[in-house]
Structure 1
């Protein structure tokens, strides 16, 4: 999937600056797509040049001027075309899993520390996702939200991010338990 499609999907929420999109990526689509601010700004320029986005300059008094981006008809068409393309299954490419695979011939303490760090990261992401979920629900039940919300796609992807981080934590706890058990058995 191209960054372009993630940007198009993010702009379904409405007009946004590059800064707002970068913050929004961190809060909303980080559970399924990562991009640095530099990548995002380069892509915004390319998409504007390709006619997928419209950009307008907003002058500000005490701050630098900013550009606001919005979808064009061509951008909506490109996003619609993307949604009908067949999706390929995701392959896991995770450096940590390579380290875990080499655990028996490497430094077990370093691998254990890397797993513990991943668990801390997953815990923090899960807390952010749960705060976002509470904001989206805004006191409604999930069933009410899903029945009445104007857009449910962001919520459904958020649920996937939550389950992904929950599984990361479950796996990390198991891996740490196994490593700790084997370390005690070999001492």
Structure 2
């Protein structure tokens, strides 16, 4: 049910369409919860039928009508109840780390390539999170935002995502350095 709670949290302050939620998930929420658009739309429908969300139709002249979802009182109560529970500990499931664990039997050039690709994707996500954080801050400093801002949850989760991606990039660079020193004969040209 974590997707359900992530959607309630994303909708708690404002109504949104499924399309806009999918974009928001890619831009910010993805740093702590991933989903496909199909899963998202299915869950929105279930949540509406369960009374956690309400939807209204907005007519559009040049596009199909869109549905805007908002959290109901029952949805607010469910989210409040969710925040009272102790969350499950985080578990890493990462195929690249399995490949690194099997280093003694790995194809070193391929592994280097995978690590470089990871660094590149983490760099793109880091830049995206930093842009989103800059949008939240606007022209305020962090201290000004913390004193007056209303989106503290996204501020905090973006900082976690930024730290996570920075750590992934640092680890990738460390791993490439170790591989270069330990396996110089397998260096890519």
TM range (shorter): over 0.9
Tell me the TM-score normalised to structure 2 length: 0.95
Question: 1:127 Cα deviation (Å)?
Answer: 0.8
Report the RMSD for the aligned CA atoms in angstroms. 1.3
> Secondary structure at 2:57's aligned position in 1?
strand
**Which ranges of structure 2 fall in alignment gaps of 5 or more residues?**
none
Tell me the TM-score normalised to structure 1 length: 0.96
**Which ranges of structure 1 fall in alignment gaps of 5 or more residues?**
none
| CA distance, structure 2, for counterparts of residue 162 and residue 38 of structure 1 | 27
| CA distance, structure 2, for counterparts of residue 13 and residue 103 of structure 1 | 47
> Secondary structure at 2:183's aligned position in 1?
helix
Q: Is the 8 A contact 2:9 2:79 kept in 1?
A: yes
| CA distance, structure 1, for counterparts of residue 71 and residue 81 of structure 2 | 14
**Counterpart of 1:34?**
34
Question: 1:151 Cα deviation (Å)?
Answer: 2.7
Runs (4 or more) in structure 1 with deviation over 3 Å come to none
Q: Deviations over 1:12-67 (max 9, x none)?
A: 23010000100111112011000110000000000000000001112211111111
| CA distance, structure 2, for counterparts of residue 67 and residue 49 of structure 1 | 14
**Count of equivalent residues:** 187
Q: Is the 8 A contact 2:109 2:186 kept in 1?
A: no
